[in-house]
Structure 1
Amino acid sequence: MKRLLALASLLSVSAAPLLAATANATHYDVAATWPVSGPGRWDLLEVDSARHHLFISRSDRVQVVDTTSGKEVGTIPGTDGVHGIVIGSGGHGYTSNGKSNSVTEFDLATLQRVRDLPVSGKSPDAMFHDAGSHHLFVFNAKSNNASVLDTTSGKEIATIAFDGNPELAVADGHGHIYLNIESTAQLVEIDAASAKVTHTWKMDGCEEPSGIAMDAAHHRVFSTCQNKVLAVTDADSGRAVARVAIGEGPDGAAFDPATKSVLVPLGKSGVLDVIHVDGANRYSKVQSLPTQTSARTIILDESDHRAYTVAAKFGPVPAGEKRPPMIDGSFSVLVLAPQGK
């Protein structure tokens, strides 16, 4: 009963009304829509700010779009079942290939494949690159663990087991990685240097956390939950700070420290919820920006404060099938920009 009362208190103080009167809150627009060619569903995104490249996972390849023009400038082929893309050090990037249980290393300047690195886990999905340790953490969705790769040697040097299937991760810049465990609604803290779990915290009132972002200045982790809440956790203690009401179908999140905005794309609601950080423990939802149904993942370019999501249109579900077909030529990038920029 005490736990239920505590959660009710969190929701009552944190789920501020839409368009709350929050000083200096930033609102967003869909500044542009860029068509992207070819078939294939999608998952995660990455951005290379230095080269103005947006990377989009597309089933068996990664498509690259120039963020200054919106034009396609390259493709990284042969990434079967690709989910995640990350920027590493030394001018290289990495893709996680879910169907081949491998990681592809590629050159960021030329977009050419460097080498393929096998992982022992099953269905590698999200990834995180830790610049301090030169370790690549590959989160394996179907084996409930992480493969830790040394990016210098290209060898898997450790595995980390979890209680359930890992989702997306974020870091505080001081050697700590925070990871959502979707099936058990846990937040895990990993020490990047030792590649070991240091804390596991249960996120009460959060179902199937997926998207994650972090306000490092306030030591707050934001996890998007399928029961239409944003869970805010104290990264030092694991304490539940707030539960903020959001829309339906989140699969990603981003935080811009310059605008103090948490950006949550909602694939089922077809909106971007913008939540302003009023203080370490105070949050106000200031906008639900119409985007497009299926726009559920996001990446932020902190160099210009623009964020990117992708979406497509779908036809009716055929008899005997579970998923609707994607309409040819409907896939596109949506550019989300602060108003006036």
Structure 2
Amino acid sequence: MKKNLFKIAILIATIATSFPAIAQQKTGFHVLKDLPIGSSGGWDYILVDGANKRIYTSHGNQVNVLSTVNGDSIGYIPKTMGVHGIALVNSLDKGYVSNGRANSVSVFDIKTLKVLAEIPVGTNPDAIFYDDFSKKIITCNGRSKDATIVDPVADKVVATVPLGDKPETAVSDGKGKVFVNGEGTSTVIVFDATSYKEITRYKIDGGESPSGLAIDRTTNRLFIGCGDSKTMVIMDAADGKTIAKFPIGGTDGVVFDPGLKIAYASNGEGTISAIRELNANKFEFVENITTEPSARTIGIDLTTHKLYLPAAKTEPNPAGGRPKQIPGTFHVIEVGK
């Protein structure tokens, strides 16, 4: 009997000490505060420059720039018609904004936020990013179904890559390959970052209408947020094989934190789905972090590990379709520990 009691005591102790370990697996993230922006207007992408403590958020026909330190307004970049995304080339002190309605990219001075030039690109440029391998700015053009390659030194278009599908988001592996989400065919399109030639295409297994996309360059894994199927598909960037799939929400944005080894998908229902990478072939669902409805895109500060999401209060649209934004409620949500 004493032996049995001793075994039970050990079992209870083991279970008790296991619970804190399990609890530590959660992110501990929650909404820290809201950063208000008084004017009205729609939004899309948000970019966080942790090194320079700035947040760039698309908003109507301008880009609002906030401080990550206190949330104060630093200024704004005007006349970015139908703005979608923002990219930075800090070594040149220049930034780039994709103007969906103007079919152009605005070039601005990072220090003054003054617009320096406007570059014609494809039709309805959406996502935009700086590829640190080729040292080029790349835009995903929704209606012309191609990608525009811009040399940020000369601020000139040097190539156009036909994609044959509506491109949503693109990332680089830092070694010469660019990966693009093809929304219409649920395909990842891969092209060479220097020759601008298509290399291959990967059909996304179990995911439809891919939007958000991130990459772990160390393990060569793609994190694909598929909005229609509400799925995150984790893919081997080398051969397109599916490594894992997780149910999430109606996402429009995905970021990856290489320090914490966590991918985050922002869901319009009002959550962030967190997926942890245990190793290159093993992943686990961590939790859904509560934000608020309409917070569907996401940016990450890699210096502080905080997340930022643009959002606004909405009300039903009498004409149907997408809910109407309540004037004066646009803000950026800060999420962290």
1:57 alignment counterpart: 58
Equivalence map 1:75-154=2 (5 Å): 75-88=76-89, 89-119=91-121, 121-154=122-155
Contact (CA 8 Å) 1:25, 1:276: kept in 2 or not?
no
Tell me the CA shift for residue 84 of structure 1: 0.8
* Partners of 1:197 and 1:309 in 2: CA distance: 33
Q: Which has the higher contact order (CA 8 A, sep 6+)?
A: 1
Q: TM-score, normalised by structure 2?
A: 0.90
- Aligned letter for 1:309? L
- Aligned letter for 2:99? N
- Aligned letter for 2:175? H
Tell me the CA shift for residue 42 of structure 1: 0.2
Which has the larger displacement, 204-213 or 189-198?
Answer: 189-198
Deviations 1:190-215 (A, max 9, x none): 22122222121111211000001111
Contact (CA 8 Å) 1:46, 1:87: kept in 2 or not?
no
- Aligned letter for 2:220? H
Q: What is the aligned-residue RMSD (CA, Å)?
A: 1.7
Deviations 1:31-66 (A, max 9, x none): 221111201010001122232110111121111111
Tell me the CA shift for residue 258 of structure 1: 1.1
Q: Considering only CA atoms, is the larger Rg found in Structure 1 or Structure 2?
A: 2
Tell me the CA shift for residue 135 of structure 1: 1.6
1:187 alignment counterpart: 188
Distance 1:171 1:21, change over 3 A: farther
Which has the larger displacement, 35-44 or 133-142?
Answer: 133-142
* Partners of 2:160 and 2:279 in 1: CA distance: 37
1:329 alignment counterpart: 328
* Partners of 2:165 and 2:216 in 1: CA distance: 25
* Partners of 1:49 and 1:128 in 2: CA distance: 16
- Aligned letter for 1:324? P
* Partners of 1:228 and 1:321 in 2: CA distance: 23
Identity %: 37
Any gaps of 5 or more consecutive residues in structure 2? 1-20
* Partners of 1:250 and 1:322 in 2: CA distance: 18
* Partners of 2:111 and 2:328 in 1: CA distance: 28
Which has the larger displacement, 60-69 or 327-336?
Answer: 327-336
1:238 alignment counterpart: 240
1:12 alignment counterpart: none
Deviations 1:6-37 (A, max 9, x none): xxxxxxxxxxxxxx949755331212211112
Tell me the CA shift for residue 229 of structure 1: 1.1
Deviations 1:126-178 (A, max 9, x none): 01212332321111001111111122222222111113100111222222221
* Partners of 1:169 and 1:283 in 2: CA distance: 22
How many residues align structurally? 316
* Partners of 2:258 and 2:23 in 1: CA distance: 16
Contact (CA 8 Å) 1:27, 1:287: kept in 2 or not?
no
SS at 1:238 equivalent: coil
Distance 1:261 1:273, change over 3 A: same
1:16 alignment counterpart: none
Equivalence map 1:142-291=2 (5 Å): 142-226=143-227, 227-246=229-248, 248-268=249-269, 270-291=270-291
- Aligned letter for 2:245? R
* Partners of 1:261 and 1:148 in 2: CA distance: 30
SS at 1:336 equivalent: strand
Does 1:317 pair with 2:320? no
Q: TM-score, normalised by structure 1?
A: 0.89
- Aligned letter for 1:328? P
* Partners of 1:274 and 1:324 in 2: CA distance: 26
Contact (CA 8 Å) 1:26, 1:261: kept in 2 or not?
no
Tell me the CA shift for residue 332 of structure 1: 1.2
Any gaps of 5 or more consecutive residues in structure 1? 1-19
SS at 2:175 equivalent: coil
* Partners of 1:256 and 1:22 in 2: CA distance: 20
- Aligned letter for 1:184? T
Contact (CA 8 Å) 1:244, 1:283: kept in 2 or not?
no
Tell me the CA shift for residue 322 of structure 1: 2.8
SS at 1:211 equivalent: strand
1:5 alignment counterpart: none
SS at 1:129 equivalent: strand
Contact (CA 8 Å) 2:212, 2:254: kept in 1 or not?
yes
Tell me the CA shift for residue 217 of structure 1: 1.4
* Partners of 2:320 and 2:297 in 1: CA distance: 24
Contact (CA 8 Å) 1:165, 1:181: kept in 2 or not?
yes
* Partners of 1:175 and 1:91 in 2: CA distance: 24
Does 1:299 pair with 2:299? yes
Tell me the CA shift for residue 321 of structure 1: 4.6
Contact (CA 8 Å) 1:42, 1:57: kept in 2 or not?
yes
